[in-house]
A and B are shown apart, each in its own frame.
Chain A
């Protein structure tokens, strides 16, 4: 390699500034790491790192604040949207995000997320849906698929007994306060790229003051699904996507001509 060649080289891929260069506690094959990276890349690209305040939730993402390199608080279980509301109302000029799992956001935190969206709270929610309670060892969540075995639905989720999963995007998209609601998946490179665009759109929604934004990311949980990382990806594709269709569920008209 000549000096000339080096001078012509461009950095096209590097560790995002918004993500600390440390090992995470996430299990091998878990897509939390991908989600973290995408959020960090978007925050870097938009130049928001120094102006951002994150709200961690309870669940596997409880230690999110250890990985993102900006101001962070850690909310009680399910209450991240309420805490984010308090922060955003005090600092309307700053970017406020929550990072929540499915048990946190759509089980114990159902009230907080619905009302934050209904108020058009100008915050961004990154919602990780891996169809179970990961941190506590794989119990049934509101997102657990019909028939899916978990440690608290050992014979498979019986919808006759415990009801049906909740589709969060579809639910929140009915609220007028929502500016951008989208579901993406992290199971392959193409979808990861689409997920990043959605995350970018969500933060653009907030920066432009267009209301509540949420991106649901279908994610793997190899440990609690008792699958290898590759089989977990296949399981997500075959089982979760049919139940949780990917797509945009609410797009504020002012976002429609956004290009990146």
Chain B
């Protein structure tokens, strides 16, 4: 298979096409728009459905319709767009139909900016829409990994009849890397037996809804969703480890933050600092068991993110506070440089771990000075 140079957003789109995407609905928003543009040409030439919606509200509900109709369906968007889609996501979760959402995260809150960020972590991982549901959230760190994740996500979403979110940041959407694309899968020809695809005398009618007026019935639905979620927690935990075999402490970072941290960890290793990198790929389900196991081997976790420490909370929770946790992050679309992370790694190696107060407070005090110096 040949290596080709692909832009992230277009690679996301082509990976979805090859995974058997039948119907795409989207709305332009930077830094995701190239996925929409690419599919506007690619899907019609394959006789598949592309439609630019009037809004993200429209787009997610078209996806909801197409998912109910039994199609492999997807939308791509960026942070402000995901906020508008939260209503639809909750309904999709409640109706138990599969779909794939790619969130190319940008700086926020509000209109924010179009630079790479990871501030949608809480919105995506801890729900976002109303009610009791858990989407699968995978966070790849390179274009190749993004392609592979999108390609597989359709199967995962179908398997559990759930929402599959691929969360990347604007840099992955915008940059180009050499990649290998997966083979083209055939599109679905037989509609799933549960779908609202017209009975045509072949089966009883199907009704797909997220309303259960009787609280006891709703609770039964909640229970079914949670049992599915337990299966997902059992089967779909993903992470990558670097230099962890002999590490005395570990950097924990996902997506691009994890990738930047890897450069810092490599540099630290070259200096003889026994640090490793633990990079969660599945943010939901979170690799909490693995984190807990590491607490018996490591002196501490150093969490690095491109937000105000959202995964940090999950790492603290997973570690059950058995070992110290330190944090460093940049916000608002600012990406940390490897040097910044390396500096923090050196400090931890030399000075050891602090335990007074919260790691977020220690970081904020530090960041204020850094931001002033950089101005």
* Bound together: yes
Chain A min CB distance to B99 (Å): 10
Q: Which residue of A lies closest to B206 (CB)?
A: A71
List, in ascending order, chain A residues with CB within 8 A of B23's CB. 86, 89-90
Complex Cα spacing A111 to B210, Å: 23
A interface, how many residues as a size bin? Answer: 20 to 34
- In the complex, A139 has a CB within 8 A of chain B: no
**Interface 1/0 per residue, B352-366 and A, CB below 8 Å:** 000000000000000
- In the complex, B267 has a CB within 8 A of chain A: no
- In the complex, A73 has a CB within 8 A of chain B: yes
Contact, CB under 8 Å: B210 / A74 = yes
- In the complex, A91 has a CB within 8 A of chain B: yes
List, in ascending order, chain A residues with CB within 8 A of B58's CB. 79, 82, 85, 111-112, 115
Complex Cα spacing A76 to B92, Å: 10
List, in ascending order, chain A residues with CB within 8 A of B51's CB. 85, 89
Q: Which of B62-70, B222-230, B279-287, B311-319 contacts A (4 or more CB under 8 A)?
A: B62-70
Contact, CB under 8 Å: B66 / A86 = yes
List, in ascending order, chain A residues with CB within 8 A of B64's CB. 75-76, 79, 82-83, 86
List, in ascending order, chain B residues with CB within 8 A of A95's CB. 198
Contact, CB under 8 Å: A87 / B196 = yes
Contact, CB under 8 Å: A79 / B66 = no
Chain B min CB distance to A57 (Å): 12
- In the complex, B61 has a CB within 8 A of chain A: yes
- In the complex, B123 has a CB within 8 A of chain A: no
Complex Cα spacing A88 to B88, Å: 18
List, in ascending order, chain B residues with CB within 8 A of A76's CB. 61, 64, 87-88, 91
Contact, CB under 8 Å: B54 / A111 = yes
- In the complex, A182 has a CB within 8 A of chain B: no
Q: Which residue of A lies closest to B49 (CB)?
A: A89
Chain A min CB distance to B181 (Å): 25
List, in ascending order, chain B residues with CB within 8 A of A91's CB. 69, 197-198
Contact, CB under 8 Å: B62 / A83 = yes
B side interface size, CB within 8 A: 40
- In the complex, A249 has a CB within 8 A of chain B: no
With A50-B198, A53-B69 in contact, do A82 and B61 touch (Cβ < 8 Å)? yes
- In the complex, A141 has a CB within 8 A of chain B: no
List CB contacts (< 8 Å) of B196-251 with chain A: 196-201, 205-211
List, in ascending order, chain B residues with CB within 8 A of A228's CB. none
- In the complex, B22 has a CB within 8 A of chain A: yes
- In the complex, B57 has a CB within 8 A of chain A: yes
With A50-B199, A51-B200, A53-B198 in contact, do A87 and B211 touch (Cβ < 8 Å)? no
List, in ascending order, chain A residues with CB within 8 A of B70's CB. 90
Q: Which residue of B lies closest to A55 (CB)?
A: B65
Q: Tally A-B pairs: CB < 8 A.
A: 130
List, in ascending order, chain A residues with CB within 8 A of B197's CB. 53, 71, 90-91, 94
Contact, CB under 8 Å: A65 / B65 = no
Contact, CB under 8 Å: A111 / B65 = no
The winner among B23, B73, B91, B198 for most chain A CB atoms within 10 A is B198
- In the complex, A62 has a CB within 8 A of chain B: yes
List, in ascending order, chain B residues with CB within 8 A of A53's CB. 69, 196-198
Complex Cα spacing A91 to B200, Å: 13
List, in ascending order, chain A residues with CB within 8 A of B65's CB. 55, 73, 75, 82-88, 90
Chain B min CB distance to A69 (Å): 6
List, in ascending order, chain A residues with CB within 8 A of B198's CB. 50-53, 70-71, 91, 94-95
List, in ascending order, chain B residues with CB within 8 A of A50's CB. 198-201
Contact, CB under 8 Å: A87 / B68 = yes
- In the complex, A72 has a CB within 8 A of chain B: yes
List CB contacts (< 8 Å) of B163-222 with chain A: 196-201, 205-211
Complex Cα spacing A55 to B62, Å: 12
Complex Cα spacing A76 to B70, Å: 18
- In the complex, B133 has a CB within 8 A of chain A: no
With A71-B205, A74-B208, A91-B69 in contact, do A86 and B63 touch (Cβ < 8 Å)? yes
- In the complex, B252 has a CB within 8 A of chain A: no
Chain B min CB distance to A41 (Å): 18
- In the complex, B292 has a CB within 8 A of chain A: no
Complex Cα spacing A84 to B53, Å: 13
Q: Among A52, A90, A112, A115, point to the contact of B69 (Cβ < 8 A).
A: A90
- In the complex, B40 has a CB within 8 A of chain A: no
Question: 15 A-B contacts, Cβ less than 8 Å apart?
Answer: A53-B197, A75-B91, A76-B88, A79-B58, A84-B65, A85-B65, A86-B66, A89-B23, A90-B70, A90-B73, A90-B197, A91-B197, A111-B55, A111-B57, A112-B61
Lowest 10 A-B CB distances belong to which pairs? A86-B65, A82-B61, A83-B65, A115-B54, A86-B62, A86-B66, A74-B209, A79-B61, A90-B69, A71-B196
